[in-house]
Amino acid sequence: MGIAPTLAVTQPAFWPLTLILFLPAIVAGILALPIIPRGKDDSVRWVGLATTIAVFILSLWMAVPAIFGAGSPGQFAVGDAGMQAVVKQPWIPAFHIEYLLGVDGISMPLVLLTTFLSVLAAAASWPIEKHVRPYWILFLLLETGMIGVFVSLDFFLFYVFWEVMLLPMYFLIGIWGGPRREYAAIKFFLYTLAGSVLMLLAILMLYFASDVRTLSDDQLLATHVVSPVLEGADRAAALTAVHSAPKPIHTFNLLALAAIGQSPASPFAATSFWGMTLESWAFLLLLIGFVIKVPVVPVHTWLPDAHVEAPTPISMILAGVLLKLGGYGILRICYPICPGAGLSFAWLVCGLGVVSMVYGAFAALAQKDFKRMVAYSSVSHMGYVMLGLGVWSAVAGHEYQWDAWAQGVNGAMFQMLAHGISSAGMFFMVGVLYDRVHHRNLEEFGGIFNRMPLYASLAVAIFFAGLGLPGLCGFIGEVLVTLSSWNYSRLLAVCSAFTVILTAAYILWAIQRVYLGAEYKGPHGDHLTPMTRRELAIAVPLVVLAIVFGVAPQLIFNYITPTVNRQVETLAEWTRSIHDGHPAAAGAAAAATDEGSVGFQAAIDSFSVGGGR
Amino acid sequence: MDIESLLPTLLGLAWLLPLASFVVILFAGPRLGSHGKGAAGVATAAIVGSFVLSLFAFISWVAQHPVRAVEHGEHAEHGAAHASADPAHASADAAHGSTDHADASHASGADHAAGHGTTHAAGHGEAGGHGGLPASYSGDWYTLYEGGRLKLSIGWYVDALTVLMFVMITFIATCIHVYASGYMHDELHDITDHEVHLADGGHLHRPGRFHRFFQALSLFCFSMLGIVIAGNLAMVFIFWELVGICSWFLIGFYYERKSASNAANKAFIVNRIGDFGMLIGLMALWGALGTLHFADATGPDGHVRPGLFTLVRPPVAGHAQWVPDGMVKFAAAEKVERVLLSHADDPRAGVEQVEAKVEDWRDEGYGRWLLLVAGLGIFCGCIGKSAQFPLFVWLPDAMEGPTPVSALVHSATMVAAGVYLTGRFYPVLTPDALLVIAYVGAMTLFIAATIALVANDIKRVLAYSTVSQLGYMMLALGVGGWLAGLFHLVTHAFFKSLLFLCSGSVIHACHTNDMRKMGGLAKAMPWTSGTMLVGCLAIIGAGVPFLDIGLSGYYSKDSILAQALLFARENPSHSILFYAVAGGAMLTAFYMFRLWFMTFAGRPRDHHVHEHAHESPPVMVYPLVALSILAVIAGWTLPGGFGIANMIEQARPAGTGGLELGGLLFSAFTVPAEHSSHAHDIHVTASLTAFATAATGVLLAAAMYVWGIIPPAMVASAVKPLYTFLANRWYFDEIYRFLFVLPVLGISRLVSGTDKGIIDRFIEGVAWGAKQVAGFDAWIDRTLIDGLVNSTASATYGAGIELKKLQTGQLRQYVMFIALGTVAIFVLAGLLFRSSFAG
């Protein structure tokens, strides 16, 4: 094991990040072996919960150095915009596939959200009695898959984790779900599979069009194509090896792909087929894959069914984390790698967002099933994320105001995290009732406030967070996104503002039907017992976080703003250089030449510099 | 401590104390005294603390900026709103302000412990000159979001109006807290709610929730004070929503009653419709100007960033309104782009070229619509919150809440927030926006007054009266009566909360809201009837015209009438606004005295009710007396000029004292300067009109309900269609149901049906095709990638088809297969790096 000390020195984040990523999978593997005897279901549960807690503490150690005293080298530097904690090992050298991980201000909070919600979902999994051991194995695999997607910087690795995550989810819905679980699971599977296939196509397109030889030495180091850990002669040799390669060196490295995609002579923009550039094709294919996950109208119908059938903890994970993967993918992959297409398809991203917001809200209003109502609220709320990501408010020349777009993207990121808290909370609150009375018919509740006062108060607080009430986490993201959209399109801005009315209507109406009123109208009224301690331990942290993030959004912005602002500023600068040269064709990055792009190279460099602390 | 850090500290603490009380009651609620009785003490102590702090702030304000009548003009000693009588002087003042005030107004504050404050000292002494910037202090406590030049923050903007509002709100809130500790007494024990019918035919028994009431009340006070102290529109919006949700809690306090929870939802959702407009206004400002701060802000680097007031009424333009540069450029975006692109080789020259052209574009009218949209958008929020036409329908229903709530939230403070914001935001409102406001106010005051004529529920009469009075205030603001509108806001708060508390006292005694069951209560309830009479006299604006002495409403209503009259004279085509005010005054007098006579005068109509009627306990009577004293004196101006009107005058926004021309939506019209309305002839005509209309209304009410000369039933049957129309509240609820509620529900069903009927059908239809795609996926993986993903992909494919087998006992193997397969991939990967390292 001679390599361990070397790794610990050169890549201080290797073990922490690898452990965070694989600990759940390793424990899943151990659980699969017959170490814990049959029938000891509780032991399996405790092992599972302990694993999620351990992973959460590890990620907390990494993400919030302030709690654990002074930062050691593997920890995350809050406020640093660049890619940090980069881990790079060759994996399948023949295809330049690497075990390349890293976190920045965009992915770190999402990793923390994932590990946090995993703990809560694990605690919420206690009532699951059927096939306990397989359930926990799949649950832990799912956690590895989700974390893997957020920390992968290699596109292939990203795709592997994307699929790894899909499978357990399929089984978790299909086996532990409600009465129509098979239908829901297959629907989920087909939708996501369709997305995956398209994504794979795009990955291969980009891979084969890429060539890292076009990158400068600085870029090669900054994007970790050549590890900046190397010193002196080793480094020089590695760089020379790249530049003197006789054939193109393709790459799956996301940072390198971004640097290539943003270079003035981007090969992605140079080739085109069927009338569109490769960049546009890749953008659209990836976008479809990601928006299915978000999901946006019209590819959203898997979500209500999946949620309604999925057991409570899986709904929490699904709404809290899985939906964020779509938004994350768009922000991390679509925009930086295909900036030209991002600019020309901004209307599509924004339009899909607004349609989802309005459509989801209307649909939520019509639902009779409590959980379906909450599921549609997710469609509506994730629409804000899409809108925020897309508001590329370009005006040519120096009047370009990147801060409006940055505000949208920051708002979208915040909305993703806030929705992670509030939607997980809402699904849990529905689950608490369902566990007691075994129905979700909105017309057959009522009077819960008097029967379960503590539960009802917490639930109302979480629903208010979903309503976007100031002081709770839902407000900040929504208001930032809405305010930023005006500069992009007045029409979309007005539609997005209109949604606040519908949101208030469906949430308050649901609260009225479930919690208010004089008496409970449905069956099993005698089972409406107060919340247990376990349930409180899940609900209270969610409510507390909803309040904390609503009151002190800076806690989140400290992480995301530096990274988001830099990405947006870079892309804005890129847009400007394209615009000034060729105002007529905003999306025609293909024709971009060097003119008018003074300072452009510097911008590209600054985008990728700062990796690997 | 100097005043610029003292004021935000005092008011900030006054603002936060109720929040502290909310938190304490939230966690300790039922354990505070027996059955949570101590909650009243905690909440009251907090609000008294706030009141004392506000009073300190008030005193220090007055010490720094002595309140006195503005020197010029001979009417100063007449009190009330007699600030200046010389229109020529006023406009001249506005014009030369450009040079005078520009430098004086930017005395930026030094670094304060609390943050970066900015002070505007008034240009013309401290008495609140017109034309110059009013004395104000502003700064930020806390940042919510900052990115680039954009910043959302929590901060303060303190001027005379803020201080006055703080004192007014905390005083009324104190009275109401004391009153409520008596009124809500029933909630200390288990309660049987007779209005709730259970499925088994019985009534609801529930534990009391005394502490919950005070908890919500504390949160409300915090939110309300937050609106008043807010230093920027984003913060206003935040607390705007918070008062909305407090109102939801309080209206729905008896949430077991379907009517209460319906009313709560209606209130919130209708308010959200207004907020929709408000968001558009916020976007229009934010998108083009990049700031929502009222005042200029001094950054940590000493750089001054202009706020909305300076942007829209810059000192260089003599504080006259213009379209700010940002809006001009926003509206002329295409031209901006063209200029910049023509200078692509020298971007700096391009930017300079744009700056040079802004002036021309402004003259061409670019951005005027945007400014109008911003103003009307923000006003939409005020329409919702202040229950203006067409969104007033929620307020009468809001009377489902306990009466102290109606007094505090739904008459004196929260619903006045819309008027307050319109007043605060006044400099940004264009003349066209003002005229829209005036007409909205006129419609509101007329519709609500007519409905109040026939209402029989004592609280609903007061609710419609509140709507109507808010319409008065909006109308006043709209016709240029900035002071008149805000003055009426303050005086109305005192007498309307008094009226509500009196009605609460009556309801407490009679256990009914129906005035037809009351009558002759004056003897049984002398204090209540006496104080309520004071309230009624105050609201109708009782006073002696030639001596110029009257109750508080006399002064404020007179100044509204005077301004409306002046406006009508200047713009004869809009003289209907004056008739609305005058007619409304008569209706007000009629329905208020109808209420008083039906309740207290004559013979008891229902003996059962009458026998049980008794005067309320002292804890409820003291607040009535305190408020009735203020209802009498709040409008007075002491010799030397100290008075509420002159204090509000100190906060008069820069530049609004002058004449303003309109003409974007309407053909050109003039918004007259408010000072001109104090001209002798206008003033006398206005007060005589007020006196005559009020007297007519009172006499008519007496004729119908006391002397019985005109029997009400006869009138009702004589104009039966009209009576039915009014009794059904103009059918607004029904119309809205058909126009909005049902279509929305229909669309929502349609949307939900689309999901099931179209999208899902389609998906199910292509499922077969998707299976083929899955096969293709596996094929790509096998052919192109060296087989690593194979296990995953084929498991994916196989699992999709063989789901049924899983259900039949092979589950364990499958799961194990996936788990081990995945682990194996990574173990293999691990081995690969080892070998690569070794090599």
Q: What confidence score (pLDDT) does residue B833 get?
A: 46
pLDDT band at A424 (very low <50, low <70, confident <90, very high): very high
Give the mean pLDDT of chain A. Answer: 85
The partner residue sitting opposite B347, judged by closest CB among A175, A398, A497, is A398
Which comes out higher in pLDDT, residue A441 or B757? A441
Write out pLDDT tens, residues B250-305.
999 999 888 999 999 999 999 999 999 999 999 999 988 888 999 888 777 778 88
Return the minimum-mean-pLDDT range out of A216-225, A355-364, A496-505.
A216-225
Q: Are B387 and B273 in contact (CB under 8 A)?
A: no
Q: Which residue of A has its CA nearest to B747?
A: A362
Q: Give B233 to chain A, closest Cα distance, Å.
A: 12
Which comes out higher in pLDDT, residue B20 or A170? B20
* Beta-carbon separation of A397 and B238 below 8 A: no
* Beta-carbon separation of A164 and B792 below 8 A: yes
* Beta-carbon separation of B336 and A399 below 8 A: yes
Distance CA B319, CA B42 (A): 46
CA proximity to B670, closest of B366, B431, B382, B416: B431
Report the run of H or E that residue B191 belongs to, with start and end.
Answer: strand B191-197
Which chain B residues are closer than 8 Å to A30 by Cβ? none
Which chain B residues are closer than 8 Å to A500 by Cβ? 272, 275-276, 279
- Whether the pLDDT of residue B545 is over 80: the answer is no
- Whether the pLDDT of residue B154 is over 50: the answer is yes
Q: Are B456 and B338 in contact (CB under 8 A)?
A: no
The partner residue sitting opposite B803, judged by closest CB among A138, A182, A298, is A182
Q: What confidence score (pLDDT) does residue B828 get?
A: 58
- Residue extents of the structural domains in chain A: 1-343, 345-581
CA proximity to A262, closest of A339, A204, A370: A339
Compute how many other C-beta atoms are within 10 angstroms of the C-beta atom of residue B83.
28
CA proximity to B96, closest of B120, B66, B132: B132
Write out pLDDT tens, residues B362-407.
888 888 889 999 999 999 999 999 999 889 999 999 998 899 998 8
Write out pLDDT tens, residues B341-355.
787 777 778 888 888
| Mean pLDDT on A353-363 | 93
* Beta-carbon separation of B283 and A187 below 8 A: no
| Mean pLDDT on A164-181 | 86
Give the mean pLDDT of chain B. Answer: 81
At B121, list the tokens: 């000292």
Q: What confidence score (pLDDT) does residue B113 get?
A: 36
Write out pLDDT tens, residues A84-118.
888 888 888 888 888 999 999 999 999 999 999 99
Q: What confidence score (pLDDT) does residue A570 get?
A: 86
* Beta-carbon separation of A508 and B269 below 8 A: yes
**Is the CB of residue B191 less than 8 Å away from at least one CB of chain A?**
no
Distance CA A371, CA A433 (A): 11
Positive/negative CA dihedral, A154, A155, A158, A163: negative
The partner residue sitting opposite B820, judged by closest CB among A29, A131, A497, is A29
Q: Give B150 to chain A, closest Cα distance, Å.
A: 7
Q: Are A16 and A68 in contact (CB under 8 A)?
A: no
Q: What confidence score (pLDDT) does residue A361 get?
A: 93
pLDDT band at B12 (very low <50, low <70, confident <90, very high): very high
Instruction: Specify the pTM.
Output: 0.88
Q: Residue A86 — φ and ψ, nearest 5°?
A: -75, 135
Q: Which residues, including other chains, have CB under 8 Å from residue A30's CB and lie 6 or more apart? A: none
* Beta-carbon separation of B752 and A363 below 8 A: yes
- Whether the pLDDT of residue B765 is over 80: the answer is no
* Beta-carbon separation of A175 and B272 below 8 A: no
Q: Are B347 and A397 in contact (CB under 8 A)?
A: yes
Beta strands in B13-167 (DSSP E): 111-112, 115-120, 136-147, 150-159
| Mean pLDDT on A477-500 | 90
Which chain B residues are closer than 8 Å to A144 by Cβ? 822
Q: What value of ipTM does the predicted structure carry?
A: 0.90
SS3 of residue B482 by DSSP: helix
* Beta-carbon separation of A402 and B196 below 8 A: no
Which chain A residues are closer than 8 Å to B803 by Cβ? 174, 182, 185-186
* Beta-carbon separation of B337 and A26 below 8 A: no
**Is the CB of residue B453 less than 8 Å away from at least one CB of chain A?**
no
Q: In what order do the strands lie in the sheet with B115-120?
A: B111-112, B115-120, B136-147, B150-159
CA proximity to A333, closest of A421, A207, A487, A419: A207
SS3 of residue A160 by DSSP: helix
Q: What confidence score (pLDDT) does residue B115 get?
A: 44
* Beta-carbon separation of A500 and B792 below 8 A: no
* Beta-carbon separation of B147 and A565 below 8 A: yes
CA proximity to B414, closest of B532, B244, B551: B244
Q: Give B744 to chain A, closest Cα distance, Å.
A: 8
Q: Angle, to 10 degrees, between the axis of helix B458-478 and the axis of helix B576-600?
A: 160
- Whether the pLDDT of residue B490 is over 80: the answer is yes
How far, in whole angstroms, is CA B130 from its chain's centroid? 26
- Whether the pLDDT of residue B102 is over 60: the answer is no
Task: Establish whether the linkage from the previous residue to B390 is cis, with ω within 30° of 0.
Answer: yes
Q: What confidence score (pLDDT) does residue B819 get?
A: 59
Q: Give A512 to chain B, closest Cα distance, Å.
A: 7
| Mean pLDDT on A436-464 | 91
* Beta-carbon separation of B816 and A554 below 8 A: no
Q: Which residue of B has its CA nearest to A505?
A: B269
At A529, list the tokens: 């017992």
**Is the CB of residue B27 less than 8 Å away from at least one CB of chain A?**
no
pLDDT band at A356 (very low <50, low <70, confident <90, very high): very high
Distance CA B35, CA B368 (A): 59
Write out pLDDT tens, residues A555-581.
999 999 999 988 888 888 887 777 655
Q: Which residue of B has its CA nearest to A464?
A: B245
- Whether the pLDDT of residue A208 is over 60: the answer is yes
DSSP state of A583: S
* Beta-carbon separation of A191 and B350 below 8 A: no
Return the minimum-mean-pLDDT range out of B92-101, B276-285, B711-720.
B92-101
CA proximity to A165, closest of A145, A150, A149, A185: A145
- Whether the pLDDT of residue A540 is over 80: the answer is yes
The partner residue sitting opposite A397, judged by closest CB among B239, B337, B803, is B337
DSSP state of A596: T
* Beta-carbon separation of A516 and B784 below 8 A: no
Q: Are B73 and B85 in contact (CB under 8 A)?
A: yes
Positive/negative CA dihedral, B811, B814, B817, B819: negative
Q: How far is CA A354 from CA A296, A351, A406, in A?
A: 9, 5, 18
Q: How far is CA B102 from CA B272, B294, B503, B516, in A?
A: 39, 17, 51, 62
At B757, list the tokens: 């009927």
Q: Which residues, including other chains, have CB under 8 Å from residue B198's CB and lie 6 or more apart? A: A518, A519, B204
